[in-house]
A and B are shown apart, each in its own frame.
Chain A
Amino acid sequence: MNWKLGFAATAIACVVLPFLVPQYSLTILIEALIFGLFAMSLDLMVGYCRLYSFGHAAAYGLGAYSTALILIHLQLPLPIGILLAVVVTVAFAVPIAWICTRSTGVSFAMLTLAFAQLGYAMLFRFRDTLGGSDGLVGIPQPAGPFGMTWFQDKIGYYYLVLGCLLGSYLLCRSIVRSPFGAVLAGIRENEAKTIALGYNTRSYKIATVVLSYAFGGLAGALYAGFAGFASPELFFWLTSGRVLIMVVVGGAGTLIGPIIGGVFFVYLEHQLSQVTDLWPLIFGSIFIAFVMFAPEGIWGILVNRFKARPQAPNAAGGKEATDAAA
């Protein structure tokens, strides 16, 4: 009951929010949702398959730069451009996943990082096409298909992002609960045993990385379409680090936790950066505190709080009974 109420309230809040907040806050809100989607995509690898990617910026950057190039040069309608960018990201993800999954643990993290940094370096190597340190600016939001223009204003774009986030979440949720997801749980718990049961775990890991890149690419594409520019920092390792922190603080292996983590950190960053230059320090402190004291993350804390509640009346009742007996 509590759960349903909570979800209903969240859903209504998400729908009416753009009409209640000022334009400036709406910008942050959209960025927060995009980062929530980005963090959720990484959770597929980190939380469900124990594949610690330290290069997820590659997915974000690929999505953003593909969108930028498609929209600037081909003038395709924005939603189609975004979809195509996801396809491009997947095309890059397949060989990356194939190579990275040859190793595990720290070497996997280093390989993913290497690919992201390779992408970063390419931006400067092919300065004419990719813009170098200036990035790509002036990304249009072409109308269509069927003459649609509703996403060209901020409120419309908010709903576009919200829809993508919700759709991606539902898709990811059904994936982790599918037979495929059960195999991922096996890989996370004991990969050697999963292989001995007859699963070719490597191909499951490749599929997970590719799926994760697809959703991460979608996040990057939405960002480029919204911000109107794509800059090299999207590919930079700091982006990979930030999103990994969001996953851990939000609660890895829950999908919804990393969404909350992403939204939480984007907001916090905006608020803190207005007050002090030391905000990365606070960022880091929060991360350390969560790792040490609440490894289950924000969502884990919330779930425990809700789970504990039904037991509370019993405990109280028991106490009263004892008191009465005394």
Chain B
Amino acid sequence: MPLLECRRLVRNFGALVAVDNVDMTVETGEIRAVIGPNGAGKSTVFNLITSVLRPTAGEVIFAGENITGLPVHAVAQKGIARTFQLCHVFPALTARENVRIAAQARDDQRWRFVAGGRVLAQSARIADEVLERIRLTRFADTPASMLSHGDQRLLEVAMAIAQRPRLLMLDEPTQGLSLEETDRAVQTLKDLLRGGNLSVLLVEHDMEVVFKLADNITVLHRGRVIADGPPAQVRANADVRRAYLGGTE
């Protein structure tokens, strides 16, 4: 049984069909990338899976359960963590506090307003572990707003990891980064993804990044899936070359 299954997802914006009958699966332990030219519907698919948007038609099945239309916070509680294309962190809080709040989200006692020492300590410990893994320990006590754009993006990944998700969704993790920053981010992500037993769905614009990270690739074009398979196969696909790689290869 796949961990995540999108069944004939459709989303219209007025007359525009942004996502058109998309079928896609992510198996447990798989790293899948979704690529496509601008406006292909990549981010819309992300927002449909995480319930930020409601599908016009179709279903999202996660671990055998239909999660279509659940509130955003409930989807997160099922075990889906995501980063946003436009970086989302808590600017005035330190990196450690950012990650700590993310870790706390999966604690049954996250709401405690008295006698919450155990929750705070445990979340802080997870936060420190994750910051270590993602190589941000030296910024643990720095306010997020003081970090470089690249580090803020990694911080957001750290927050997602701290949620201990069953499925990690990264929306263009290298968007807006300089070349050096991209290299460093990709290296960090690579270590992270290869090391951990994570299932990942990745939207990415940068082809180099995708070929370095993904096991399988889904190619979207004008809201439709035009190819699906391992990187080598997708690279060789004639439709894909026409639609997307044509200009660059």
Contact surface of A with B, Cβ cutoff 8 Å: 174-175, 178-183, 185-186, 189-190, 192-201, 204, 207
Contact surface of B with A, Cβ cutoff 8 Å: 50, 52, 71-74, 76-77, 81-82, 84, 88-93, 97, 100-102, 104-107, 109-114, 116, 119-120, 123, 159, 163
Bound Cα distance A201, B76 (Å): 13
A sample of 15 more A-B contacts (CB under 8 A), given A193-B89, A195-B72, A196-B50, is A178-B113, A178-B116, A179-B104, A179-B109, A182-B97, A182-B101, A183-B104, A183-B110, A183-B111, A189-B91, A196-B88, A197-B101, A197-B105, A198-B74, A198-B76
Bound Cα distance A182, B71 (Å): 21
Bound Cα distance A180, B93 (Å): 15
Bound Cα distance A207, B113 (Å): 10
A-B contact list, 20 entries, CB within 8 Å: A174-B114, A175-B114, A179-B107, A179-B116, A180-B116, A182-B100, A183-B111, A186-B101, A189-B93, A190-B91, A193-B88, A194-B101, A196-B52, A196-B82, A197-B101, A197-B102, A199-B73, A200-B73, A201-B73, A204-B111
The residue on A at minimum CB distance from B144 is A189
The residue on B at minimum CB distance from A185 is B93
Is there contact, CB below 8 Å, between B114 and A178? yes
Bound Cα distance A285, B94 (Å): 35
Looking at the assembled complex, report how far the CB atom of B179 sits from the nearest CB atom of chain A, in whole angstroms.
28
Q: A182-B104, A195-B73, A198-B105 are in contact. Are A190 and B119 (CB under 8 A)?
A: no
Looking at the assembled complex, report how far the CB atom of A200 sits from the nearest CB atom of chain B, in whole angstroms.
5
The residue on A at minimum CB distance from B115 is A178
Q: B88 contacts which of A190, A198, A199 (Cβ < 8 Å)?
A: A190
Is there contact, CB below 8 Å, between B90 and A185? yes
Determine the chain A residues whose CB is within 8 A of the CB of B101 once the complex forms.
182-183, 185-186, 194, 197
Is there contact, CB below 8 Å, between B76 and A197? yes
The residue on A at minimum CB distance from B103 is A197
Is there contact, CB below 8 Å, between B88 and A179? no
Bound Cα distance A195, B75 (Å): 10
* Binding site secondary structure of chain B: loop
Which of A174, A197, A201 has the most chain B CB atoms closer than 10 A to its own CB?
A: A197
Looking at the assembled complex, report how far the CB atom of A46 sits from the nearest CB atom of chain B, in whole angstroms.
16
Determine the chain B residues whose CB is within 8 A of the CB of A207 once the complex forms.
113
Bound Cα distance A204, B76 (Å): 17
Looking at the assembled complex, report how far the CB atom of B182 sits from the nearest CB atom of chain A, in whole angstroms.
23
Bound Cα distance A193, B85 (Å): 12
List 10 tightest A-B contacts by C-beta distance, closest first: A198-B76, A189-B90, A180-B113, A179-B116, A193-B88, A198-B105, A178-B116, A197-B105, A179-B119, A198-B77
Bound Cα distance A204, B113 (Å): 10
Looking at the assembled complex, report how far the CB atom of B144 sits from the nearest CB atom of chain A, in whole angstroms.
9
Q: B105 contacts which of A175, A185, A199 (Cβ < 8 Å)?
A: A199
Is there contact, CB below 8 Å, between A179 and B110? yes
Bound Cα distance A174, B97 (Å): 17
Looking at the assembled complex, report how far the CB atom of A209 sits from the nearest CB atom of chain B, in whole angstroms.
14
The residue on B at minimum CB distance from A180 is B113
The residue on B at minimum CB distance from A204 is B111
Q: A198 contacts which of B92, B106, B109, B113 (Cβ < 8 Å)?
A: B106
Is there contact, CB below 8 Å, between B113 and A196? no
Looking at the assembled complex, report how far the CB atom of A221 sits from the nearest CB atom of chain B, in whole angstroms.
22
Is there contact, CB below 8 Å, between B119 and A186? no
Bound Cα distance A198, B48 (Å): 16
Determine the chain B residues whose CB is within 8 A of the CB of A195 once the complex forms.
72-73, 76
Determine the chain A residues whose CB is within 8 A of the CB of B77 once the complex forms.
198
The residue on B at minimum CB distance from A193 is B88
Q: A192 contacts which of B88, B106, B159 (Cβ < 8 Å)?
A: B88
Looking at the assembled complex, report how far the CB atom of A202 sits from the nearest CB atom of chain B, in whole angstroms.
9
Determine the chain B residues whose CB is within 8 A of the CB of A198 once the complex forms.
73-74, 76-77, 105-106, 163
Q: B84 contacts which of A174, A175, A196, A204 (Cβ < 8 Å)?
A: A196
Determine the chain A residues whose CB is within 8 A of the CB of B111 once the complex forms.
179-180, 183, 204
Is there contact, CB below 8 Å, between A179 and B82? no
Bound Cα distance A179, B110 (Å): 6
Is there contact, CB below 8 Å, between A196 and B76? yes
Is there contact, CB below 8 Å, between A179 and B120? yes
The residue on B at minimum CB distance from A176 is B113
Bound Cα distance A93, B113 (Å): 18
Is there contact, CB below 8 Å, between A180 and B97? no
Bound Cα distance A195, B105 (Å): 10
Bound Cα distance A175, B110 (Å): 13
Determine the chain B residues whose CB is within 8 A of the CB of A186 once the complex forms.
90, 93, 101
Determine the chain A residues whose CB is within 8 A of the CB of B106 once the complex forms.
198
Q: A180-B111, A182-B100, A192-B88 are in contact. Are A197 and B159 (CB under 8 A)?
A: yes
Bound Cα distance A197, B111 (Å): 14
Bound Cα distance A181, B119 (Å): 12
Determine the chain B residues whose CB is within 8 A of the CB of A197 once the complex forms.
73, 76, 81, 101-102, 105, 159, 163
Bound Cα distance A192, B72 (Å): 9
Looking at the assembled complex, report how far the CB atom of A317 sits from the nearest CB atom of chain B, in whole angstroms.
26
The residue on B at minimum CB distance from A181 is B113
